[in-house]
Structure 1
Amino acid sequence: MRLNFIRKVLYCHRGPATKTLLVMKLTAFILLITAMQVSANGFGQNVTISVKNAPLTKVFSLIEKQTDYVFFFDYSLLEKGKKITYRVSNLQLRAVLDSCFREQPFSYDIVDKTIVVRERVPEKTYVAPKETNRFQPYTGKVTGPDGIALSGASVVVKGSSKGTQTDENGNFTIDAEPKDVLVISFIGHLAKEFTLGSNAVPLVIRLEPEVATADEVVIVAYGQVRKKDLTGSVSQVKSKDINALPSTNVVQALSGRSTGVQVQQNNGTPGGPVSVRIRGVNSILGGNEPLYVVDGFPYSSNPTFLQNADIESIEILKDASSIAMYGSRGANGVVMITTRTGKKGERSNVTFESSYSMQQVTKKMKLLSPIQYAELYNEQAKNDGLAPYFTQGALDSIRNGPATDWQSLVLRNAPISNNNLTISGGNEKTRFSLSAGAFLQDGIVHNSDFKRYSMRANVNHDISKVFNVAYNATLTRITRKLQNSERGNRGSDIFSAMLMAPPTLSPYLQDGSYRRLTTAYPFISNAIINPMVNLNENSNQIKADRILSNLGFTIKPVDGLSIRISGGIESSNDRTDAYNNIEPSTNSVGAASIATSQFTNLLNENIANYAKTF
């Protein structure tokens, strides 16, 4: 009947467009009939299974050979399963699957012709709580005095480590107990405390801006001015903010402390260089680093030789009027660093500061297990028409054998220790500050570290009401051990080798020598090296000495007039020792190199300043 109907329609309408449309309808109808037949016969397929104490992968393989279905699963999930003994003849596929999965910690779903093995979701049962949860969620919004939302404000439960930050709309949610105290803070605003009540009603917290004291002194290019008299764009970061969080150096401590200032560490090596951008990038081809001035002396590079505990304050000069004195040298901004000194009438003080923190990898890469690795390469060999790389005996040995975690061999938890001793004091004529410090940082990669030892002296003496002399000196010794962190080709560098090395192989042979991975497995990338060779047989050590010293005389011949004559020296002496031992597993014939560099900079500045109020 249907065929006759189709013939009638085809012969009655002879237009080419109509014929095409009808042919398309006929094709769709035939496909629909076929799909219905497939759907009807899909679970009508019967299978025969006979296994004893066998893993499920063997059952899956038998089902795939007898049906049109394929299995999709995660090996790490199947490793949790139980071996089964099952014997059945010519039974429907659905019944076989239900029996195989009945006592397993996972279940299955069928999507078209694919049987997806998934983790079993336990049935939810209601259990009456034995006691009421004392925590409850509190929500709120943090705004400024004008009602504008503050994004990134810190919300912390006082006396605990529990905290959160506001989102882009100033909203936050935090779990706390009634009567807990929330401490809300934001850069440039006064911190505020809020006691929670028993009702979790939405909170609206308004922070007031932090207003600096009008008589507070700010260091600028020509000397000191009061904030109320300041006309240029200057940001000030005080010592308490610099030492609030552990950081490798004083430049890194500027991160997030001033608007318009971007601080970025160029790489992850201990003591690695840090880039600072003030109000964005000013040049495409030229340098963009600001000028650093330490106690009035311009420094040619990043002042990473300074100890954070030695800093009194940092002023960041941003606009043209603030940096006019330094001309083109200050085109990218000026960072003025003032170290600590004694104060008039201050009794001698001894201060010791110490901190200890730990670095660790946030998250390691999840890689294949040994059995997954072996089966993957067997699958590759099968696709290439080759014999399996791993025999069944080798697979059984790998399944029950140890695994090599290359990430744990290369990476580690690395401590940071910072210690500083300061002696300061003064009377009506003389002020002094002496300090010694040690900053010790291990890298998260084995055999890498950064160590900085420094001594500093700051003496200021009034010879008379007219003459003043000031002397500053900083001596620093820096040592670094580096590991090559540059990217290589398919496992030729330390990090890609760590991720690509076979988990089925150990790094050492029985005689203690290094294993050549490409000899053990010639089917892997020929560029992969044993990462332990780079860690233990290659050495790259840097020793650097930094000296920054300046002496200045200030003369005040008449009221309002001061003349400052100063001179200073900046000296750096670097030596790099690189050694590669002879190592047959990497065809290394050995290499050694020594590189040295010396730099000395002398500077004399004479400044006259007249300030008189009429």
Structure 2
Amino acid sequence: MKKKCIWVFMLYLIGLSSAYAQEKTVSGNVTDQAGVPLPGVNILIKETTTGIQTDFDGNYAIQASQGQVLVFSYIGQKTVEVTIGASNVINIQMDEAAESLEEVVVTAQGIRREKKALGYAVTTLDGEDVAKRPETDVARALSGQIPGVNILGGSGLAGSGTNITIRGFSTMTGSNQPLIIVDGVPFSNATNETSTFSTSESGNNSASRLLDLDPNNISNLSVLKGLSATVLYGEQGRNGVILITTKSGSSNSTQNKLEVTVNSSYYIEQIASLPDYQDRYGGGWQQSRGKAFSNWGSEFTTPYEQILHVYSGNAYSSVQQGGGNFNASFPQFAGVTTYEYKPYDSVKNFFNTGYTAVNNINVTKSTENASFNLSYSNSDQKGFTPNNTLRRNNFSVGGTAKLSNKFTFSGTMNYVNTDKKNPPNAASTGSSNVSSGGSGIFANVLYTPRSVDLMGLPFEDDQHRSVYYRTTNSIQNPRWTAENEIDAEITDRVFFSMAGTYKFNDYLSATWRSGFDGYNETSSFSVNKGGIYLPDGLYYESRNTGKIWDHSLLINLSKDFSDNFNLSFDAGFNSRRNTFNSSSVQYDKQLVYGSFFANNFEDKVATDLFQSQENVFGAFGSATLGYKNFAYLNIAGRNDWASTHETGNNSLFYPSASLSFVPTSAFSGLKSNNGLNYLKLRVGYGSSANFADPYVTRDRLGVSAKAWLDANGNAVNINGSPVNINDSGINRLGNPNLKPELVTEVELGLELKAFKNRIGLEASVYSKEATDQILDKRLDPSSGYTVTAINAGKLKTEGIEVGFNAIPVRTENFQWDFILNYDAYESIVTELPGGEEDALFLSGPFSNLGNFAIQGKPFNVMQGVLVQRDAAGNPIVGTDGLYLTEDELGIIGDPNPDWRGSFINNISYKDLSFSMQWDYTHGGDMYSATANTITIRGLAGETDFDRSIPVVAAGVKQDGSVNDIQITANDQYWENYGQDEFKVYDATHLRLREVSLSYSLPKKALENTPFGNITFSATGNNLWFKAFNFPDSINFDPAISSEGVGNSRGFDLLTGPTAKRYGLSVRASF
């Protein structure tokens, strides 16, 4: 099959060369009515798909033949058509139009529509808006650029997963990630845990598979936000759709000659922030020096005192290590019994200065009847955390060929190899992970006591065993962790698409499209023996294979029936098959240090197997009726048949309708050149569904066999131990009556342009409701089952999105323009099966700390332990002077922000351009183990006070009198401020997302060179931020999600800071 695909593609590329015809180069300059050059003017050879755009100076050059017609179009200008004659130079001065009528956008199923005819919101970005950012992850490059689209990274580790949500939440327990379409076919953005074991022990560090896409190979990107826009994608489109067209998949190449473009960039990568630590006190407890993992010891004195060496005594002769001899293991310390008691800058020195280097080459050519594009990119990233790397190679080829006047064929093929490594990063609320046995590398670094020289002391002995200063050596040295524990992912991925369009006549055509997306991902978690948490060593490997086959047929009819009415009709079907296979194995008790092969471990402990398959068939249709170019009515619908539900519930139809009205076209008196140029009002209704995961409608029992058996029925043993096999499924009672979740949405919006199109506004308000939520109901284990799926619960989301752009100044050599984006939403749980008394645990580090669904409350509120309070809200203090806590959990915060905004500013002068982006998030709570732990352990700058003075906790005694019980500062912080409610902070923050300065060499300087363009850029990313309500000394960045990719929000569990980057790039074309 693979060889056949390669031969087909080779024949296709060879065939492209025969399509090129004899042409000449037509060039010129395009200006507006004032003589100002117009960049980005679309120039199309009429009745072909060949086109280009003018450059920044309004210049263009296109290959065309005499007698053909060039069509010049630009938003806000009247379209111009010119027939090519004998002259090779055609200069155009465009006249201003009162409104924009020519903008065409790509909508669902690749259908192209004039934007004025759409009754829903569509936002588009040029590929350059993505590629110019110093991000290897396409998702993170979108941050702040599109209102209503929220991007949240897992951590600052290179290659960590990324959350994408559009317009809030539509399901309580399912995925809220949008559908990704690349070159017309679905593209998996899965985030696969290495295993349940690895997630708890080493953290949810898995990459999201959108990481496999090369930002340099994107031609353009569109976002469909509402259900009236996405209905043709069926249940896949319920969370919005991101449409990505690669350069290899674009049929609108702007070059009629062979052009080679080379991009090369190098960015320094550093940790974005570190706490400002106090330098007054060292490690210890209750004002006494000691080896506790806290900083409540005595003051540093001048000159610095000498104390017993931190590795002396119990710290090294631990049971876990089997004992040890200090002098024999560390001869350099022989006879040294004292240690300099002073502040050490351990945390800062632990982290590295990393880099991100990207090199890309793109080759493209097009003529009237054919185009092709070839792209290769290499990305090499080293994170600021030791042994965190990401390497990726992307290869892409594609093109389009008009094989006859009626038939056009296009195709793309892509291969990518991604290799990611990082030390374990388990979610943690303390010294180890939340499952009390894993490695939280950042936790063990960030609150290292000030008196411990982490980087100056050995981290292992001569037997490679971790050594650290704490009594009984019960904390794993983070340097040992970085060197000896590695999470790794190696992914090979192939995705391609092929499409053929047959044009029966001027108004009827048919398109067949087929695509495939498949990846093989090998994930592993390797731990050398000698550690504290897994002292015998471990190797865990998981092999995941995901495949998507997608086929669709689209019939299009577009016809003007009179001068007043025109009709566009689309109908078709879509067939999609998703398969996922996962197998994993765990080995324990490493024999030889440093080797991770199966035969180097004594025990093969467990094997996990999982397989799933999903088939969906959909039929869809859409009709748009236009009246006099100012009113458009669209009716659309789709019916899906899904294999994950039983007969009777596996078929669902979801309709949509939208209306677009352009008053400035209907009433000529509304528009003027110096006033309102364009106004569109729109309203839309749409619906969609969320199908259940495979097999929840069928009974399923978890397999836990005692051992593998051979053909004779005998147990298979390795080193004398039986090999266990486990199925990751649980004991589930199938529910054959389970229905899909249903989502409906109403959207209102407007779009306008004013003052010669130098001001633009797009705004939407929406309300969507998700009913028949698919929830798990616990069962009595005596029934033989532990859980079953039911339909219950409702979720309602309402929001607003606003995008505003303006060009305050535009002259021949200078332009200043800016964009303001704003969005806000609120998701409320309106119904649960248990009513107001029910609290549905969704996700979190513990069952008594996490995100919950509670009827009448915002979705995902955080619940945890509350301090007891009187009627006036005063904390109640016990007889020991410490706060009393409630027996029942309570709401400690709401992670959903009140609103978000961004400001993108662009200034250009001749060949010099400057851009800057600010992002702001208002509201939203965060449970921050980082901020709280650094504070309550006595490290934060705010704890630089006289700790010998007793403290009285604010509050009242149990009898209602004002508290006057004295306690130590140590107890006040560690005990009182260690309760869950004091770990929650308002996450309002301001961020300087990006600053960029670019310079393009003048055209005259390149006249006698092979280069058509050379641009140099200096860029900085995430250079500054301020979280206003966190302690000042913490310097905390709330833009993380410690629970990984999913629906969890608002939890920072010591999974590390974010990254900042700054560097240079050069782009040259010839």
TM-score by length of 2: 0.35
CA contact (8 A) 1:270 1:448 kept: yes
Partner of 1:394: 307
Q: 1:320 to 1:374 in 2, by over 3 A?
A: closer
Partner of 2:108: 221
Other structure's SS at 1:322 match: helix
1:461 aligns with 2:393: no
Cα distance in 1 for residues equivalent to 2:467 and 2:369: 71
The structure with more radius of gyration: 1
Q: Gapped runs of 5+ residues in structure 1?
A: 1-187, 189-210, 382-386
Other structure's SS at 2:399 match: strand
Cα distance in 1 for residues equivalent to 2:99 and 2:125: 12
Shift of the alpha carbon at 1:257?
1.4
Partner of 1:273: 161
- From 334, 346, 361, the equivalent of 2:241 is 334
Partner of 2:477: 530
Letter in 2 for 1:498: V
Shift of the alpha carbon at 1:410?
3.0
Cα distance in 2 for residues equivalent to 1:305 and 1:587: 32
Cα distance in 1 for residues equivalent to 2:244 and 2:142: 12
Other structure's SS at 2:398 match: strand
How many residues were matched structurally? 397
Bigger relative contact order, structure 1 or 2 (CA pairs below 8 A, ≥6 apart)? 2
1:438 aligns with 2:378: yes
Shift of the alpha carbon at 1:490?
3.8
| Structural RMSD (CA) | 3.3
Q: Which of 535-544 and 223-232 deviates more?
A: 223-232
Q: 1:264 to 1:289 in 2, by over 3 A?
A: same
Letter in 1 for 2:410: A
Shift of the alpha carbon at 1:402?
8.2
- From 406, 412, 420, the equivalent of 2:352 is 412
Shift of the alpha carbon at 1:366?
3.5
Q: 1:328 to 1:528 in 2, by over 3 A?
A: same
Cα distance in 2 for residues equivalent to 1:510 and 1:276: 41
Cα distance in 1 for residues equivalent to 2:221 and 2:173: 28
Cα distance in 2 for residues equivalent to 1:578 and 1:348: 46
Q: 1:358 to 1:228 in 2, by over 3 A?
A: same
Q: 1:247 to 1:555 in 2, by over 3 A?
A: same
Q: 1:214 to 1:240 in 2, by over 3 A?
A: farther
Shift of the alpha carbon at 1:269?
2.1
1:426 aligns with 2:366: yes
In proportion to residue count, which structure has more helix? 1
Q: Which of 338-347 and 263-272 deviates more?
A: 338-347
1:379 aligns with 2:288: yes
CA contact (8 A) 2:105 2:114 kept: yes
Q: 1:374 to 1:278 in 2, by over 3 A?
A: closer
Q: 1:592 to 1:565 in 2, by over 3 A?
A: same
Cα distance in 2 for residues equivalent to 1:514 and 1:578: 19
Cα deviations by residue, 1:215-238 (Å, 9 ceiling, x for unpaired): 233111142223333332111111
Cα distance in 1 for residues equivalent to 2:407 and 2:347: 63
Aligned ranges for residues 346-365 of structure 1 at < 5 Å?
346-365=256-275
- From 553, 556, 563, the equivalent of 2:503 is 556
Q: 1:405 to 1:566 in 2, by over 3 A?
A: same
Cα distance in 2 for residues equivalent to 1:372 and 1:220: 62
Partner of 2:128: 240
Cα distance in 2 for residues equivalent to 1:490 and 1:245: 35
Q: 1:420 to 1:522 in 2, by over 3 A?
A: same
CA contact (8 A) 2:476 2:531 kept: no
Other structure's SS at 2:271 match: coil
Percent identity, aligned pairs only, is 23
Shift of the alpha carbon at 1:511?
6.5
CA contact (8 A) 1:500 1:528 kept: no
CA contact (8 A) 1:516 1:586 kept: no
Partner of 1:507: 457
Partner of 2:12: none
Letter in 2 for 1:454: N
- From 591, 603, 608, the equivalent of 2:538 is 591
1:607 aligns with 2:544: no
CA contact (8 A) 1:491 1:500 kept: no
Cα deviations by residue, 1:465-508 (Å, 9 ceiling, x for unpaired): 11111111111101000221123464332122113445445431
CA contact (8 A) 1:566 1:605 kept: yes
Q: 1:323 to 1:539 in 2, by over 3 A?
A: same
Partner of 1:319: 226
CA contact (8 A) 2:282 2:343 kept: no
Cα deviations by residue, 1:290-336 (Å, 9 ceiling, x for unpaired): 11111111223253321111111111112233212112211111111
CA contact (8 A) 2:307 2:340 kept: no
CA contact (8 A) 2:466 2:530 kept: no
Q: 1:494 to 1:461 in 2, by over 3 A?
A: same
CA contact (8 A) 1:579 1:592 kept: yes
Shift of the alpha carbon at 1:380?
5.8
Shift of the alpha carbon at 1:451?
1.6
Partner of 1:172: none
- From 204, 209, 212, the equivalent of 1:305 is 212
Shift of the alpha carbon at 1:344?
7.3
Shift of the alpha carbon at 1:363?
3.0
Q: 1:359 to 1:431 in 2, by over 3 A?
A: same
TM-score by length of 1: 0.59
Shift of the alpha carbon at 1:345?
6.6
1:343 aligns with 2:253: yes
Cα distance in 2 for residues equivalent to 1:343 and 1:489: 53
CA contact (8 A) 2:180 2:186 kept: yes
Other structure's SS at 2:352 match: coil
Shift of the alpha carbon at 1:445?
0.7
CA contact (8 A) 2:474 2:532 kept: no
Cα distance in 2 for residues equivalent to 1:285 and 1:218: 33
Letter in 2 for 1:590: G
- From 526, 529, 534, the equivalent of 1:579 is 526
Partner of 2:843: none
Other structure's SS at 2:151 match: strand
Partner of 1:477: 417
Aligned ranges for residues 10-409 of structure 1 at < 5 Å?
214-222=101-109, 223-301=111-189, 303-340=210-247, 341=250, 343=253, 346-367=256-277, 372-373=281-282, 379=288, 393-394=306-307, 404-409=344-349
Q: Gapped runs of 5+ residues in structure 2?
A: 1-74, 76-97, 190-208, 291-296, 310-336, 433-439, 562-1070
Cα distance in 2 for residues equivalent to 1:335 and 1:367: 43
Q: 1:218 to 1:398 in 2, by over 3 A?
A: farther
Q: 1:504 to 1:599 in 2, by over 3 A?
A: closer
Cα distance in 2 for residues equivalent to 1:347 and 1:530: 59
CA contact (8 A) 1:345 1:428 kept: no
CA contact (8 A) 1:410 1:531 kept: no
Partner of 2:443: 496
In proportion to residue count, which structure has more strand? 2
Q: 1:245 to 1:212 in 2, by over 3 A?
A: farther
Letter in 1 for 2:268: M
Q: 1:556 to 1:582 in 2, by over 3 A?
A: same
CA contact (8 A) 1:439 1:452 kept: yes
